[in-house]
Amino acid sequence: MTKYVYFFGEGKAEGNKEMRKLLGGKGADLAEMTNIGIPVPPGFTISTEVCTYYWEKGRYPKSLEEERERAILKLERAMGKGFSNSENPLLVSVRSGAAISMPGMMDTVLNLGLNDKTISGLVKQTGNERMAYDAYRRFIQMFSDVVLEIDSEKFEEVLSEKKKKRGLKYDNELSVDDLKDIVRKFKEIVRKEKEDGFPEDTKIQLEMSIDAVFKSWGNKRAIEYRRLNKIPDCLGTAVNVQAMVFGNMGSSSGTGVAFTRNPSTGENKLYGEYLIDAQGEDVVAGIRTPSPIAKLKEEMPKSYAEFDKLTQILEKHYRDVQDVEFTIENGKLYILQTRRGKRTAQAAVKIAVDMVKEELITKEEALGRIEPDQIDKLLHPQIDPKAKVKAIAQGLAASPGVGSGEVVFCADDAVIASKEGRKCLLIRRETSPDDIHGMAVAEGILTARGGMTSHAAVVARGMGKPCVAGCEAIEVSEKKKELAVAGKKIKEGDVVTIDGGSGKVYFGKVAVVEPKITDEFALILKWADGKRRLGVRANADDPESAKRAREFGAEGIGLCRTEHMFFGKDRLPIMKEMIMANDLPERKKALDKLLPMQREDFVEMFRVMDGLPVTIRFLDPPLHEFLPSHEELSLELVTLKLQDKNPKRQKELNNIMDKVASLREVNPMLGHRGCRLGIVYPEISEMQSQAVFEAACILKKEGLNPIPEVMIPLVSDMKEFINQKKIVDDTALSVFKKEGVRVAYKVGTMIEVPRAALTAGKIAEYAEFFSFGTNDLTQTTFGFSRDDAEGKFLHKYVEDKILKDNPFEVLDQEGVGELIKIAVQQGRKQRQDLKVGICGEHGGEPSSVIFCDGVELNYVSCSPYRVPIARLAAAQARLQNG
C-alpha cells in the first residue's frame, strides 16, 4: 500500500532532504533538520502524490484519512497535548511545500485548533490571555480568507476601526478586551457570509485547511508563478501539518526570517529581520516594520547566539545559502523552515566565488549555482554618479538595479501598460502574492511598507527586478491612484525612478551609466571559459556594438546584418535611388555611391574585431522594406492634391507608389529576399563583396588581421549558393589583384529553411560554414509568421500546453532541433572541417545552448549583452553533457 503521510519529530523523521519530489522542499527540509538535531516543532507531511491524485481524480486516496489520524495521535504524544482538548489544546499550522520553492504563492493557515472551548485551555496552558485571543483572531481571519474565501478586507476594516477608535498604531498594542471584541465581530462576519458560520470542530478545520492548501496549487497566482519560472504543473505540492509555537507571547518571544549571507550583495554576514511579540506572517506581510537581525543580539543575546550557530550549521550542511524562518517562544528558539536562499545576480556571483575560496563547493558546483539569466541582471545600467539629482524619499534597498517608468498602483494596470509598450513602475502599500503578474512586467517595485524579507523584496530579488521596500516617507492611495511624498502628489502616469541598490526614490527619469564586470564576475566567466567547448560570438551591426561584444568576451561576430547599415539618414535616400532605378546603369550608379559607405562600415568592424572572425550576411530583407508604405505615400499624395501644391513631388510620389506596388508581395517572408535578390540583381552582391574585400585589404596593409566570413542568406538549393559564391570569389580575386595583398576568407550560408537543412550535404560541397538562422528556421518549420503568431495565438498555445514554450524564445528541439541535427550530420559527412554555428536569438538562451553543445556546433552567436550569459550557459552545457 502506498504511504502518503510522513512524520517528523523527537529527533527523527521518516524523510530526508533527498525526498524533495515526494515531500516537497519544505517537508524534506523539516525532516532533514529533525534528523541532524535542529530544534524543529514536530509534525507530519502529506506527500505531493496526494496532490497529484486529488487533481487527477477529484478526491483523496482512501487510506489517507487513517494515515492522517495516526499521525495526529503521534503528534499529540510528542507534544503532550490533545487536538480538540479544551484543557491542554494542540494547535497546528497547515502549510504548502512544493518540490521547487514557490514563496507565498500557495496558502497557509496558522493557529488551527482554536474554538470557543479550546481558547480557555490555551489561556490556561500559556498563562497569557492576550496572546491566546490574539492567536484566535488571527486564526479566524486567516481561515476565513484562505478556506472560506471571505474577503480579508472585511476583517481588516474591523481591526483598523478598533485601532483608530483606541488611538493605537500597531496590532500588538490591542488589549485583551479589544481582542475579545474583535473575535466576536469576526465571527459575526463569518455568520453573515456563510450559513454554517465558523466551524467549531477542530478536525473539520484541519480537513478543510488541508483541502484548501492542495487546491491552492491551482490558484491563479501559483499558476502564473510556475509559468514565469518554468516549473512543471505536474509536480504538485505537499502539505505540512506542524505543531504551533508562538512568537506573540510578549517581550521574550518573537519571530523572524534571516539569510545566512546577504541576498542582495552576497556579503558573508547574517542578514535578516525580526519582530518582538509577533507571528511569522507579520514579518512577511509588512504590517509592522521589523528590526534588523543584528539588533536581536542586544534584545535576546542567548537566542541570537544559538540562532547564529544553527544557521552556520545549516549552511555547512546544505553547502549553500539558507533562508531560515524562526520563532522564539518565551526564550526558546525553534527553526520553522530552511530553504535555499533566493539571491540577486550580484550576490549569486559573489557567494559562488566565496564558497569556492572557503572550500565549501567546487568550481564546477559554483558554475552550476548561477542561473545564466541572472547574469543578464548584472549587465543593466546604474544611476550615473555625475547626475545632479535629489532623492525625494529613502526606503530599504531590497533588490538592486535601476527602474524607471510611469507609476501604476495595481498589478492589472501594470500588465495593461506593458501590453501598450509603456514602461511602468508598480507602487503598492505592500505587495501580496496576487500581484505577481504585475511585478513580472514592471520595471521595478516600490512599497510603503515591509522589510528586506517582505513579499515584494523576496519576489523582486528572485525576478531580478529593482525594488525599494518599506519606504515610509510615501503615502500611497491605491484607490485614488496617487502617492504623496515631501509635500508633492505623484499621480498615475507620472514618471518615477527607483534605485534598488541604495533605496533611493527620484521624481522623473534619471540618467544611467553602463555596468562594469566585477572581479568576481570576471573570475566566474574565466572558470566558465575553462570548461566550455562551444565558442561564443555576438550579433553586431555597428562598431560600437562590436566593441561592447568584445569587452564581454565575444570570440568574433557571428552575424553582421548589412541591411541595418542602409537605414541611416545619409544612406536611405541612396538605397531608395538604387531601388527606383529603371535599368542597370542607374542601379550601378546608386550602388557606387553606397560602396564607400559600406566599405567604411567594414573597415571599422574589422578594426574592432582585429584577429577575430566577422561573419557578414549579405542583403536579406525584401526591397520594399526600404521604401515608405503604400498607405503613407497615398496620404501624402492626397493631401498635396487637395491643397493643389508641389506637382513635382506629386509626380515623384506616383512613381514611388508604382514601384511599391510592383514590389508588393502576398508573403514577403517567403518572397524576393536573401540570395534571391543577389541572383536577380548580381550587382548588389558584387558591391557588397567589393566593400568587404577592399576593407579587409586596407587593414591588412595596416598590419592588422581581418578575418571576413561572407554569409549568403536564405539558400534552399546548392545551385543558389554556387551562383552567389562565384560572385564573391571573382570579386575577391579582382580586389586582391588590384590591392596587391591577399586576405584569407570563407564563404558559407545561413540555414533558415527546411530544404537547406535536408540537402545540407550537397550545399556543404561548396559552403565552408553553416550558420543556423533559427528565427526564420522556426517560422518556416512551423509555418508561423512570427509577428502574427506572437500577436494572435502563440500565447494561447503556451497557456494551453499545446507548446511547452514560445519556440521563438526557446529552441524547438523536436522539430527545428531535428533539422539542425540532420544538417550538421550531412554537412560534416561531406566536409569534415565544416564550421557550424547558430546566430538566431536562441544563441543566448540557456536550454538552447545546452542543445547546441550536445549536437556539437562550433559556436553560438547572440546579442552583445547576452555574451556573458552564453559563456556561462556553454560551460554548464558541457558539465551537463559530459
Contact indicator for 14, 6 with CB cutoff of 8 Å: yes
Non-local CB neighbours of 302 within 8 Å, separated by 6+ positions: 331
Helices 816-830 and 774-782, packing angle to 10 deg: 120
Distance between CA 424 and CA 24 in Å, rounded? 35
Query: How crowded is residue 667: how many other Cβ atoms within 10 Å of its Cβ?
Result: 7
Contact indicator for 536, 587 with CB cutoff of 8 Å: no
Distance between CA 40 and CA 30 in Å, rounded? 7
Cell readout for 423 is 514602461
- The catalytic site residues sit at 455, 839
Contact indicator for 353, 524 with CB cutoff of 8 Å: yes
Query: How crowded is residue 3: how many other Cβ atoms within 10 Å of its Cβ?
Result: 11
Helix segments in 534-646, DSSP class H = 543-551, 572-580, 584-608, 630-643
Q: Using CA of residue 836, residue 839, residue 844, residue 846, what is the dihedral sign?
A: negative
Distance between CA 401 and CA 499 in Å, rounded? 6
Distances (CA, A) of 17 to 137, 238, 406, 790: 35, 14, 45, 41
Non-local CB neighbours of 156 within 8 Å, separated by 6+ positions: none
Distance between CA 680 and CA 181 in Å, rounded? 87
Residue type present at position 368? G
Cell readout for 170 is 500597531
* DSSP string over 838-881: E-SGGGG-HHHHHHHHHTT-SEEEE-GGGHHHHHHHHHHHHHHH
Contact indicator for 338, 29 with CB cutoff of 8 Å: yes
**Buried-exposed string 445-473: b where 16+ CB fall within 10 A, e elsewhere:** bbbbbbbbbbbbbbbbbbbbbbbbbbbee
Contact indicator for 41, 245 with CB cutoff of 8 Å: yes
**320 burial class (0-12, 13-18, 19+ CB within 10 angstroms)?**
buried
Contact indicator for 129, 178 with CB cutoff of 8 Å: no
Q: Supply angle C-alpha 113, 115, 120, rounded to 5.
A: 100
* DSSP string over 243-305: E---S-SSTT-EEEEEESS-TTT--SS-EEEEEES--HHHHHHTSSPPEEGGGHHHH-HHHHH
Element (H, E) at 498: strand 495-499
Picking from 771, 693, 701, the residue whose alpha carbon sits closest to that of residue 730 is: 693
Query: How crowded is residue 18: how many other Cβ atoms within 10 Å of its Cβ?
Result: 11
Cell readout for 321 is 545559502
Q: Describe the chain by its helix, strand, coil percentages, rounded to 5.
A: 50, 15, 30
Distance between CA 293 and CA 256 in Å, rounded? 8
How many H helices and E strands in the chain? 35, 32
